[in-house]
Amino acid sequence: MKKTGAQIVNECLVQEGVKVVFGYPGGAIMPVHDAMLDYPIHHVLTRHEQGAVFAADGYARTTGDVGVCIATSGPGATNLVTGIATAMMDSSPVICITGQVAAHLIGGDAFQEVDVTGITLPITKHNYLVTSADQLAEVFKEAFFIARSGRPGPVLIDICKNAQVEEAEFDYPKEISLPGYKPPKHADMNLLEDAAKMIGEAKRPVILAGHGVLMSGAMEDLRLFAEKTQTPVAMTLLGLGSIPASHPYSLGMMGMHGEAYCNQAIQNSDLLLAFGMRFDDRVTGHLRTYAPRARKIHVEIDPSEIDKNVEVDVPLVGDLKTVLEDITPIVSPKDNEEWLDQIKEWREETEARDILSWPDEEKLHSAHVIRDFWQKTGGDSIVTTGVGQHQMWAAQYYQFEQPYKFITSGGAGTMGFGLPSALGAWFANPDKEVWTVEGDGSFQMSLNELATVVQEGANIKILLINNSYLGMVRQWQEFFFDKRYAATPITGPDFVKLSEAYGVPAKRVTKSGDMENAIEFAQNTPGPVLIEYQVEKEESVYPMVPAGAALDEMIRRPITQKKASS
Amino acid sequence: MQHTLIAKVENKPGVLNRVASLFRRRNFNIESLNVGQTENPDISRMTIVVENKGNNAKIVEANLYKLVNVIDVQDLTNQPTVTRDLALIKVKVDAIKRAEVVNLANIFRAKIVDVASDSVIVEIAGTEEKIEGLVELLSPFGILEMVRTGQVAMMRGDSPGVRHTPGANGHQSNNNKNTKVN
Ligand SMILES: Cc1ncc(C[n+]2csc(CCOP(=O)(O)OP(=O)(O)O)c2C)c(N)n1
Ligand SMILES: [Mg+2]
């Protein structure tokens, strides 16, 4: 049956199981929005296109399925750019649909014409320019497949106005033909055996669990492998939730703001098992000093990650879950007691230094705030974040027991991600508790989306860590720029009043004594709520591996601080 | 040393741009890049010559596979191959010098494809070394203009090139240096 291109777009979305899209209208995409009224697809009007792509990303990361956003041509499309780059860096499956001027006008600088496929070429996994309606069905089928398979990533579909209006025969393809796109599944059998041998020989192995664990759904396989080989599991920021925080083999987070004992374990390891992670500079520290005595096995679906940052001994290119299913039966059970005991010792030292072990003296420390939040939500909430110190505190002090619960911009570190990604997460999980941990700087980049939250009745709770600074940058200035606080003191509105003006009940907490009922207030109030914590202004995130230092050369929390307060 | 890679890509609009953009984005320095048709109208073939620092060739290969339109990449370096470059060289000559240039061209089995009163165009096809040899000898006459196509290459017989990257696009690696375990 013949349909208009705009109808075909919606037909394709329905075929792919899409129930909600996040977007913003405009001239070049009007036919698609118009047709959407006739389909069972809910359109969420964000207050900025960047919010739409962040929301689609949050949707994707909490479900493992594709999130969809939609924008008009020109400025609408360019407003997506930061969000697309964010999704690309974190391999998040997002489909971006943009309007484009009519095909015959392309290249003529028509009103709101921007070369969006050109602009997004390096920040998408793939992109398409659709110039006629008959291309649409095939393009959508391919785009969804590409976005969610292999190493996932954003795919942009730029649709000329004429292609939305003209008619074409609609028949959703069952098969696709992509001769250049066959994501690997099983790793090379010989290499697998080499890896098994190395694992057998190792005395101080550490697993490095990355985002790939969640994306291939390999949590259970990871646990079985770790338990069989008695190998502790360090997680990247995006790998949190790979194994429950309370699991005896969990080492928590590695890297720049990772647990000290976790970094010590990595540096002293004789075998690193990198599972779906890419040795980002934020987790390796200085490369030449990285885990100098460790052999390395890298399980990775994207061959271009092999030897990119760290040269490895055995590359296992394949889907992590499949590779673990293949390798676990051929490794022999191990006893690494001595190694685990050594790590335990480091861990005790770390814990003694932790601010959680110190009295708060009525002061409001962010770490205490996050711990309180973690305890009151039973470690069971979906938590999205902005970027900065609050993000790191959330990662350090919220103990994630489950995967797909911690949603944060890792590779790009994009401020403004928190609230809109929570919106997307809530649409994917309307029955779960959804919180966003925001910084005062990050929140001010996206607080316009409060209106969207209210319009949609989204049950999102906002935990605002207000330190009156762009705190993470201030911390760098404190450590490396002689405390010259250039461009980092930041004011904000009265966040409680602002929130209430949007129709969001709010509460302010200024000292530790007031912390008591704040989270309960949010939990017991239906709909969105904001809690502002006016925390200690000049606190730093510890430990910290300075850029260019070895992973175990961490700046630790000054012990004098403890003495002073106890 | 240089590495010569062959990439088979889908013959679709914009694919060359994707490849070029990838090289820029990943900071790869490309010596030459040649694109042409193949026996299959749906597939184009690229010959890519890269300076081989470290494991550059392998990294270029692996990154090419990130592009959805790239079907196969092989490294032909140190394999039995035929490589050809084509050059047109416009040389400054007067009536007296012309004979000398014609002579040189003959020795190199190059062709004179245009003769003007004060210049000739020499056409030569061959390996890079052969072309560079002729260019060197023609330089003293004065080269007015030169254009080269960049290398194209093909394996002899049915021997395959080297694939460094295990698992990429369903291909097995045949580079046994992938593991350092003995
Ligand atoms: C879009 C964007 N611009 C700038 C930065 C650099 N940056 C990283 S953290 C940070 C400070 C964030 O401040 P805030 O949200 O208040 O968080 P805090 O560190 O104070 O917890 C800045 C400016 C960034 N990551 N993203
Ligand atoms: Mg702040």
Per-residue pLDDT of A311-368, as tens digits, reads 999 999 999 999 999 999 999 999 999 999 999 999 999 888 888 877 778 899 999 9
CATH label of the domain that carries residue A321: 3.40.50.1220
Is there a contact between A184 and B167 if contact means CB atoms under 8 Å apart? Answer: yes
- Cα A168 to averaged position of ligand 1 atoms, centre (Å): 47
Is there a contact between B166 and A188 if contact means CB atoms under 8 Å apart? Answer: yes
How many CB atoms are closer than 10 A to CB A226? 25
- Cα A476 to averaged position of ligand 1 atoms, centre (Å): 12
pLDDT at A562 over 80: no
Q: Is pLDDT larger for residue B55 or for residue A443?
A: A443
CB pairs under 8 A between A and B: 76
A299 with A201, same domain? Answer: yes
The two tokens of residue B151 are 């290398």
Is there a contact between B179 and A313 if contact means CB atoms under 8 Å apart? Answer: yes
SS3 for A243?
coil
pLDDT mean over A124-139: 98
Ligand 1 and A469: CB distance under 6 A: yes
Rounded to whole angstroms, the Cα distance separating A416 from A445 reads 5
Ligand 1 and A473: CB distance under 6 A: yes
Q: Does A146 touch chain B (CB under 8 A)?
A: yes
A220 with A162, same domain? Answer: no
Residue A561 lies in a domain: no
Residue A513 confidence (pLDDT): 86
Please confirm whether the linkage preceding A493 is cis (ω < 30° from 0).
Answer: no
pLDDT mean over A95-109: 97
A363 with A325, same domain? Answer: no
Is there a contact between A317 and B59 if contact means CB atoms under 8 Å apart? Answer: no
pLDDT mean over A135-154: 98
Ligand nearest A409 Cα, by number?
A: 1
> How many domains are there within chain A?
3
Residue B175 confidence (pLDDT): 67
pLDDT at A406 over 70: yes
Rounded to whole angstroms, the Cα distance separating A407 from A479 reads 28
Ligand 1 and A339: CB distance under 6 A: no
Is there a contact between A180 and B55 if contact means CB atoms under 8 Å apart? Answer: no
Ligand 1 and A26: CB distance under 6 A: no
Going from N- to C-terminal start, the domains of chain B cover 2-78, 82-152
pLDDT at A305 over 90: yes
Q: Helical H runs in chain B?
A: 15-25, 56-64, 95-107, 128-138
Is there a contact between A179 and B71 if contact means CB atoms under 8 Å apart? Answer: yes
A399 with A326, same domain? Answer: no
| Pairing relationship of beta strands B2-10 and B81-92 according to DSSP bridges | unpaired
Q: Do the domains B2-78 and B82-152 sit in the same CATH topology, yes or no? A: yes
A219 with A299, same domain? Answer: yes
For chain A, what is the mean pLDDT? Answer: 96
pLDDT mean over A6-33: 98
pLDDT at A1 over 90: no
Residue B53 confidence (pLDDT): 76
Mutate to test the interface with B, among A151, A181, A312 (most CBs of B within 10 A): A181
Q: Which atom of ligand 1 lies at the shortest distance from residue A440's CA?
A: 16
- Cα B87 to averaged position of ligand 1 atoms, centre (Å): 55
**pTM attached to this predicted model:** 0.96
**Could you report how far apart the first and last alpha carbons of chain A are, in Å?**
77
Answer for the pair A300, A317: CB distance below 8 angstroms, yes or no: yes
Ligand 1 and A418: CB distance under 6 A: no
pLDDT mean over A28-44: 98
Q: Is pLDDT larger for residue A565 or for residue A443?
A: A443
A335 with A360, same domain? Answer: no
Which of A346, A365, A392 is the last residue before a domain boundary?
A346
Min CA distance, A251 vs chain B (Å)? 28
Ligand 1 and A412: CB distance under 6 A: no
Chain B hits for A178, CB-CB cut-off 8 Å, are 68
Rounded to whole angstroms, the Cα distance separating B1 from B18 reads 26
CA-based nearest residue in chain B for residue A180: B71
CA dihedral A13, A19, A23, A25 (to 10 degrees): 70
- Flag whether the ipTM exceeds 0.85: yes
CA dihedral A502, A504, A510, A516 (to 10 degrees): 180
Q: Does A315 touch chain B (CB under 8 A)?
A: yes
Ligand nearest A486 Cα, by number?
A: 1
- Cα A442 to averaged position of ligand 1 atoms, centre (Å): 6
A328 with A378, same domain? Answer: no
Residue among A374, A496, A408 at smallest CA distance from A447 = A496
List chain B pLDDT tens, one digit each, 182 residues: 789 999 999 999 999 999 999 999 998 888 899 999 999 999 999 999 998 777 788 899 999 999 999 999 999 988 999 999 999 999 999 999 999 999 999 999 999 999 999 999 999 999 999 999 999 999 999 999 999 999 999 999 987 889 988 788 888 777 655 444 43
How is domain B2-78 classified at the CATH fold level?
Alpha-Beta Plaits (3.30.70)
Ligand 1 and A83: CB distance under 6 A: no
The string over A471-508, giving b where at least 16 C-beta atoms fall within 10 Å of a residue's C-beta and e elsewhere, is bbbbbbbbeeeeeeeeebebeeeebbebbeebebbbbb
Chain B hits for A306, CB-CB cut-off 8 Å, are 62, 165
Residue A561 confidence (pLDDT): 53
Is there a contact between A191 and B179 if contact means CB atoms under 8 Å apart? Answer: yes
A277 with A146, same domain? Answer: no
Residue A68 lies in a domain: yes
Residue A135 lies in a domain: yes
Candidate from B71, B170, B173 with C-beta closest to A188: B173
The two tokens of residue A473 are 């940058």
B84 DSSP β-pair partners: B152
Range of the structural domain that residue A213 is part of: 189-346
pLDDT mean over A80-89: 98
Ligand nearest A444 Cα, by number?
A: 1
pLDDT at A493 over 70: yes
CATH label of the domain that carries residue A478: 3.40.50.970
Which of A295, A327, A346 is the last residue before a domain boundary?
A346
Ligand nearest A393 Cα, by number?
A: 1
Q: For helices A418-428 and A49-63, what crossing angle results, to 10°?
A: 50
Residue among A285, A169, A191 at smallest CA distance from A543 = A285
Cβ burial of A548 (10 Å; 0-12, 13-18, 19+) is: exposed
A249 with A133, same domain? Answer: no
Dihedral class, residue A285 (left if φ above 0, else alpha if ψ from -120 to 50, else beta):
left
Is there a contact between B69 and A194 if contact means CB atoms under 8 Å apart? Answer: no
Residue among A88, A55, A54, A121 at smallest CA distance from A412 = A88
A264 with A332, same domain? Answer: yes
CATH, domain range B82-152: 3.30.70.1150
Determine which residue's CA is closest to atom 20 belonging to ligand 1: A471
Determine which residue's CA is closest to atom 8 belonging to ligand 1: A388
A367-390 residue pLDDT tens: 999 999 999 999 989 999 999 999
Rounded to whole angstroms, the Cα distance separating A528 from A454 reads 7
The string over A329-359, giving b where at least 16 C-beta atoms fall within 10 Å of a residue's C-beta and e elsewhere, is eebeebebeebbebbeebbeebeebbbeebe
Residue A406 lies in a domain: yes
Ligand 1 and A471: CB distance under 6 A: yes
Residue A558 lies in a domain: no
Residue B14 confidence (pLDDT): 93
Residue A564 lies in a domain: no
Min CA distance, B60 vs chain A (Å)? 8
Residue A566 confidence (pLDDT): 40
Q: Does A107 touch chain B (CB under 8 A)?
A: no
Residue B161 confidence (pLDDT): 87
